[in-house]
């Protein structure tokens, strides 16, 4: 039996946004590994073992998946959105460091629709010009790094997408981020809060930075800040394609 490992993105929530490529590997898999709510999206079937695990154990989860693939299983690690965006793909490559045996395995990364793209599409085209995305969680990097990146991105006039904006365990970080952005970009800059995009709970709000409050975001929200030219047209928000 030849094992393999696929690291797959399930998209933002709607099953229609799971790519056919990802559906095909899931149909062939013997094992699905991932964070509990993502594994919960996989329909159980005979011959498929589901291995849900808690958050923050990414490296252990990656090693367990590699062990199973090395033993001949057909393993899919599932992430939400895209597996390369603040998700499991990097954890798998980190686990491969120094492991020549695992490096010889059949490993594929299968892209998915990441939250910021689904959110931007729902809002209009706020990422229609140059943009960057920043993870606001300080679990894996010091807050000073986040703050420096926010200031530099603002000064370079990038539109920005923020992942993991605010959690119960660190509610103060997003308030600090908003204060920094208000200082750099001024009160009139548009900011969109896109919650649970592509699910029945989807909710989008666009306000100015002057009106934004930390409570507008939670861990199911991706936040999109416009650049200096981003504006409203009808019920949409977009960033022009050119800079003059
Ligand atoms: N790999 C994922 C991101 C994982 S980090 C991706 O590519 O989308 C988790 C963060 O993603 C959340 O805190 C939130 O900021 C964002 N997110 C994921 N799914 C979302 C959705 N359906 N709607 C809004 N934000 C979402």
pTM metric for this prediction: 0.96
Residues 31, 74: Cα–Cα separation, whole Å? 6
15-25 residue pLDDT tens: 999 999 999 99
Q: What is the pLDDT of residue 56?
A: 74
- Ligand 1 atom nearest residue 202's Cα: 23
> CB of 114 closer than 6 A to ligand 1?
yes
Q: What is the pLDDT of residue 61?
A: 95
**Dihedrals φ, ψ of 24, to 5°?**
-65, -45
Task: Among 38-47, 52-61, 146-155, 181-190, name the one with the lowest average pLDDT.
Answer: 52-61
What does DSSP say about strands 31-35 and 49-53: parallel, antiparallel, or unpaired? parallel
Residue nearest to atom 13 of ligand 1 (CA): 164
Average pLDDT along the chain: 96
- Ligand 1 atom nearest residue 137's Cα: 13
Task: Among 23-27, 30-34, 87-91, 169-173, name the one with the lowest average pLDDT.
Answer: 169-173
């Amino acid at each position: 039996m030849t094992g393999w490992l696929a690291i797959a993105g399930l998209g933002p929530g709607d099953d229609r946004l799971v790519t056919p490529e990802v559906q095909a590997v899931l149909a062939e898999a013997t094992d699905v590994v991932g964070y509990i709510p993502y594994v919960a999206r996989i329909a159980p079937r005979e011959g498929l073992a589901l291995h849900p695990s808690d958050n923050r154990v990414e490296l252990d989860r990656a090693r367990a998946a590699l062990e199973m693939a090395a033993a001949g299983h057909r393993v899919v690690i599932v992430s939400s959105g895209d597996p390369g965006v603040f998700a499991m793909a990097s954890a798998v490559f980190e686990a491969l460091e120094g492991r020549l045996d695992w490096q010889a395995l059949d490993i594929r990364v299968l892209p998915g629709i990441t939250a910021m793209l689904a959110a931007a599409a729902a809002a209009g085209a706020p990422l229609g010009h140059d943009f960057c995305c920043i993870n606001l969680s300080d679990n894996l990097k010091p807050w000073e790094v986040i703050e420096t990146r926010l200031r530099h991105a603002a000064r370079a006039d990038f539109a920005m997408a923020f992942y993991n904006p605010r959690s119960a365990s660190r509610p103060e970080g997003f308030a600090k981020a908003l204060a920094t952005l208000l200082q750099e970009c001024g009160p009139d800059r548009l900011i969109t809060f896109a919650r649970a995009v592509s699910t029945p709970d989807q909710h989008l709000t666009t306000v100015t930075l002057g009106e934004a409050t930390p409570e507008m975001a939670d861990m199911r929200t991706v936040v999109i800040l416009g650049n200096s030219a981003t504006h409203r047209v009808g019920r949409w928000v977009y960033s022009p394609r050119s800079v003059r």
